Amino acid sequence: MTKLFIENAAALSPLGASLDEIWSAVMARKTVYGKVSLPGDRSFYAAETRPGTGSDISVYAPLFNDAIRGMVADLGIAEPVDAVFFATAVGNLGQVENEVYAGRSITLDDLDFAQVEAVFADTPAWGPETRFVSVPTGCCAGLQATGLAKAVMERMGIKRAIIMSLDFGLTPLAFEAFHKINATTGYDRSANASPSRPFCRNRNGFLFSDGGGAILVSTEQSFPDQPCISGYGCVSSAYHMTDIATDGDAIGKSIMLALQQSGLAGHEIGHVNLHASGTQQNDEAEYNALLATLGSDLPTITAFKGNHGHALGGANMIELALSWKILREATIPPTPEHLPIDAYDAVTPRSTPQALDRLSILKTASGFSGIHASLIMEASICA
Amino acid sequence: MCMTFTCVLSGENATLSDMKTGAQSIMSRRSFDGLISRRQRGKLSTGARIAGGMYSHFGLTALLEELGADPKDTPIVIYNRYANWDYVADSMCKDQRMTLDGVNNYVATAWFPATVQGYLTIVNGNKGEAITIASKDRGLRAAAADSLFKRDASGARRGVVLVGTFEAIPAKIGPISVDRALSCAFGAFSLVTAESTEEQIETALDAHQELYSHVAI
């Protein structure tokens, strides 16, 4: 199976406008959250990449396209890539909502996920031969786009590609829709700590946020020990559109497929970066999946949504970019300050960074529609 | 070999076609809607309802078994380019507060583009990999279908990949016209077998893309 070698990574999130800024904030154990107010006396928790924009859709709407251009620039691309694999949950929902509320006309292109390629076409990453695909499968989309790239790049002669996932989904419709199904933590004006509490006993839903990440990948290795994506697995749970079976069986199957493809055994995983949305069901399911696939002596775990919330599909590649940093620095960040991480005995808080001994990371993601994907990233044994 | 079935909703009718045999049948929208459970209908976008109705009408579970595939473990690729705007088009308006008052418990899942793949996996107990893809690139679409095949130890394809396209485009979202859009709803399923050539896959997927001629004026 083809391995994808990572040349560079970029991200933006409520913790920072660049991957380095986010990494520094994570290492400093920072968390971020705020409040968005909408008509009808509605208040929601939110973590915003541009603070204060979520309450005004006319200001918020352009951020999606701006972020694409910004991340392409951050990847330092000087010449066109062969392909762009773009992933999202809600795409440019903010732009369309803004047009409706402003009473302006909408075009079919505005609604077309394939048309996001027009934004890339204005960047140095685009050339006459660049191919484009959008994967709008929600909170699993980034990993699915990576899996798709891994499966098709070599056979299509695609040598170098951008894989990006991005969501600026803090829109009125999305806030209300997630609130209606109790996916997000309800706003509490008396609270004095982040409502995003993955792997804490008192977790109660996800903190809605925005942002995204990107990696520049090649099918060819540039230097020894270059981090690469070596395994991928994806299954459907066939269980429920939004609920996750807490036995973790489906997540466990996706992990086993990824391990199988990478050639690694469970005990060879040095670190796990989880989806960890902070809902009761998700974290229980992931914990049980880890026990079933890696054994009871679990490696260290990171759950970055505890730092900056859940950016839907965008979260996947923020977390993948941070996982790349973990491999490059051989350092596991501490857990966010003020989070007790007390839900399970085998998952414990860290007040200081820790060395990464085995350069292999398991990354998981799950999304609405009952989709679960896992991915293996490693550094020392990619050649 | 690829088997392709299509469905176009127009007025009070659903026109269902088997592209291989050329057989065509017309049934009332009421009868077509009756192919999925009444309890599900209000939760689903038009696209998902077309997918469910077609799956039932064309007996895809039996067809998959005849082709040697396991309907409980068959990969699915959905080639959709639009979210399910039909589900929120009537409730949206220029007034944000009124729009939000109209959001029901199913908007989060019904609007969402991966609803169709989720619905098909859940209703049929199918645990295969499923992905939704939007691309104008013919080669990439075909490669994506090829990539989802299960493989034997030698890397040869096994089983069947189920490919679908299900769209419902409103001509208006709230009071706002979608420029040049025609209100339309259509769907297509293709069963792509392991023996299919690249050309056969691309031809089958082209039949899905041709349905987009219904979208614009």
What's the pLDDT score for residue A191? 85
pLDDT at position A20 over 50: yes
CB contact under 8 A, A137 and B101: no
Q: Smallest Cβ distance to A38: which of B96, B117, B216?
A: B96
Q: What is the mean pLDDT of chain A?
A: 96
Nearest residue of chain B to residue A88 (CA atoms): B113
Q: Which residues lie below 8 Å from residue A195, measured CB to CB, with a gap of 6+? A: A33, A45, A185, A188, A204, A205, A207
What's the pLDDT score for residue A240? 94
What's the pLDDT score for residue B93? 96
Query: ipTM score here?
Result: 0.97
What's the pLDDT score for residue A381? 54
Interface of B with A in 139-158 (CB under 8 A): 139-140, 143-144, 146-148
Ordered structural domains, chain B, with CATH: 2-214 (3.40.47)
Mean pLDDT of A286-304: 97
Quick one: angle between helices B115-124 and B46-57, nearest 10?
Answer: 40
Could you report the per-residue pLDDT of B113-171, keeping only the tens digit for each?
999 999 999 999 999 999 999 999 999 999 999 999 999 999 999 999 999 999 999 99
Ordered structural domains, chain A, with CATH: 4-218 (3.40.47.10), 228-378 (3.40.47.10)
Could you report the per-residue pLDDT of A96-108, keeping only the tens digit for each?
999 999 999 999 9
Residue numbers in A near B76 (CB within 8 A): 236
What's the pLDDT score for residue A266? 97
Residue numbers in A near B214 (CB within 8 A): none
Predicted TM-score of the model (pTM): 0.97
Could you report the per-residue pLDDT of A151-199, keeping only the tens digit for each?
999 999 999 999 999 999 999 999 999 999 988 888 988 888 899 999 9
Nearest residue of chain B to residue A250 (CA atoms): B127
CB contact under 8 A, A173 and B107: yes
CB contact under 8 A, B81 and A236: no
Across the A:B interface, residue pairs with CB atoms under 8 Å apart total 212
DSSP type of residue B19: T
Min Cα distance A24 → chain B (Å) is: 34
Task: Provide the token pair at A201.
Answer: 């006993």
CB contact under 8 A, B103 and A93: no
Terminal Cα-to-Cα distance of chain A (whole angstroms): 12
- Residue ranges of chain B with per-residue pLDDT less than 70: none
Tell me how far apart the alpha carbons of residues B130 and A282 are, in angstroms, rounded to a whole number. 20
Min Cα distance A342 → chain B (Å) is: 30
Task: Provide the token pair at A237.
Answer: 């749970």
DSSP type of residue A368: T
Q: Smallest Cβ distance to A133: which of B100, B127, B140?
A: B140
The answer to whether residue B200 neighbours chain A at the CB level (below 8 Å) is no
What's the pLDDT score for residue A382? 47
Residue A383's pLDDT band (cuts 50, 70, 90): very low
Output phi, psi for B16, to 5 deg: -115, 130
Residue numbers in B near A93 (CB within 8 A): 83
Q: Smallest Cβ distance to B131: which of A104, A108, A148?
A: A148
Q: Smallest Cβ distance to A236: which of B94, B127, B136?
A: B127
Mean pLDDT of A200-225: 95
pLDDT at position A138 over 60: yes
Tell me how far apart the alpha carbons of residues A86 and A78 are, in angstroms, rounded to a whole number. 19
Q: Smallest Cβ distance to B96: which of A101, A104, A183?
A: A101
